[in-house]
Amino acid sequence: MLQVSNIKAHKETYIKALKKRNFDAEDLLEEVLQLDEKRRSTQTKLDDTLAEANQLSKEIGLLFKTGEHLKAGELKERSAGLKESSKSFQEELNTTVARLEELLYTIPNIPHESVPAGTSEEDNEEIFKAGEIPELAKGSLPHWELAKKYDIIDFELGNKITGAGFPVYKGKGARLQRALITYFLEKAAAAGYTEYQLPLLVNEASGFGTGQLPDKEGQMYHVTEDDLYLIPTAEVPMTNLFRDRMLNENELPITCTGYTPCFRREAGSYGAHVRGLNRLHQFDKVELVRLEKPENSFEALEGMVAHVKDLLNDLKLPYRILRLCGGDLGFTSALTYDFEVFSTAQDRWLEISSVSNFETFQANRLKLRYKDKDGNKQLLHTLNGSALALPRVLAGILENYQTPDGILVPEVLVPYAGFDLID
């Protein structure tokens, strides 16, 4: 959530920057400033009225003590009027604050200056590419057919138990999945991240804190009776560990990692691009979260990008990195890099990670601050990244590592999986 003080100081800059998102913010920001002025004015009236009522209360007490009951009675009538006025001002203030907060929740984050303008994923900038795209033998198969051939993932059984988008991993498929999770977590631990095991359900306050609510409410599974949400990513519970916290500078940076299943209701279209593991309603992911001082956050972002690069280099998968354009940038993000792995059998790029800096946008919603060495209170910058989301990584491995004799296991995973070939 944007800070009103920053909107006031940088209104025209924000209007121009938000146009990168194809978001016309001029009228909205003006209404925010008008509501904030009304809030300030009403707060002043309320404070003055309460102060006058408090002073009258003292005077009435003294008058009663000195026996001046008639004069005390007159002041009591005036005091009653002030109480009615204060009640009216409080109601007006509550309404104004609620409307102001409602508007602020609808304004996306300001894109970083390096974010290119654009309307869709077609306008994203490729900034890096690595890895050799393998030459597959004639008759090579997409991963959903390989999964059936080697009996390692059963999509139909998942559909029977739950519905489409909930696959069942079997045998070496389940073991390879577990190997990837362990490998990703151990790499994160070696990089200094503290591992957490997290709840898979969060309350509404947590959803608002990281920006999934109200922006992505329709994409989240909602347990209505308990008013809880299944997590769309570990970012939500992990970042909310620090909601309403005042940290000290010497505690920073804070680095966290965790593995969780993730749940997303988002409906997909039909076709090969959403078949198999390409788009799921439940999937596994290892997440990284960082809390950084503002002056260090973009260096930390580059460090997270380097971490994901290392994972993909170790897996020897062909991949590229995209800088997302304004039209494809997430609601809460100031700058996002997407990683995509090349699926040779499908002849297309598959997104496997997003690494983002939210600057102060989430921290303001979370009331997450720190005290610097001079005792000043400042908002932190929050960052997160997938390291990695498993379904499309697994799809890339199955398709790119297939041979006439079976599917090879990337060398780095063999110690975790306990086998080197799926046949």
In this prediction, residues 167-187 reach a mean pLDDT of: 98
140 known ligand binder: no
52 known ligand binder: no
- Level-2 CATH architecture, domain 121-422: 2-Layer Sandwich (3.30)
Residue 34 pLDDT: 98
Domain ranges of the chain: 4-104, 121-422
Q: Is pLDDT at 198 greater than 90 in this prediction?
A: yes
In this prediction, residues 393-420 reach a mean pLDDT of: 97
Report residue 155's pLDDT band, with 50, 70 and 90 as the boundaries: very high
Report residue 272's pLDDT band, with 50, 70 and 90 as the boundaries: low
353 known ligand binder: yes
Distance in angstroms (rounded) separating the CA atoms of residues 54 and 56 = 5
Q: What angle do CA 270, 275, 280 make, to 5 degrees?
A: 95
Please answer whether residues 361 and 2 qualify as being in contact, where contact means their C-beta atoms are separated by less than 8 angstroms: yes
Residue 37 pLDDT: 98
352 known ligand binder: yes
Residue 71 pLDDT: 78
Residue 79 pLDDT: 84
Residue 271 pLDDT: 55
265 known ligand binder: yes
Q: Is pLDDT at 269 greater than 60 in this prediction?
A: no
108 prior amide bond cis, ω within 30: no
Both tokens of residue 265? Answer: 């209701």
Residues 6+ apart with CB under 8 A from 255: 191, 192, 193, 194, 288, 289, 290
Q: Which fold has domain 4-104?
A: Helix Hairpins (1.10.287)
Q: Which residue has the tokens 């997303």?
A: 264
In this prediction, residues 34-56 reach a mean pLDDT of: 94
Residue 125 pLDDT: 98
Both tokens of residue 11? Answer: 């209104």
Q: Evaluate whether 4-104 and 121-422 have a shared fold.
A: no
Q: Could you tell me which of 294, 387, 396, 378 has the C-alpha nearest to residue 341?
A: 396
Residues 6+ apart with CB under 8 A from 224: none
287 known ligand binder: yes
Average the pLDDT over each of 79-83, 86-90, 259-263, 333-337 and give the range with the smallest value.
79-83
pTM of the model: 0.92
**Around 371, how many Cα atoms within 13 Å sit in the side-chain half-sphere?**
7
Q: Which residue has the tokens 């608002």?
A: 208
243 known ligand binder: no
Distance in angstroms (rounded) separating the CA atoms of residues 234 and 232 = 7
Provide the pairing of β-strand 125-130 with 319-323.
Answer: antiparallel
H/E stretch holding 338: strand 335-343
125 known ligand binder: no
Average the pLDDT over each of 8-17, 53-62, 388-397, 404-413 and give the range with the smallest value.
53-62
Residue 74 pLDDT: 77
279 known ligand binder: no
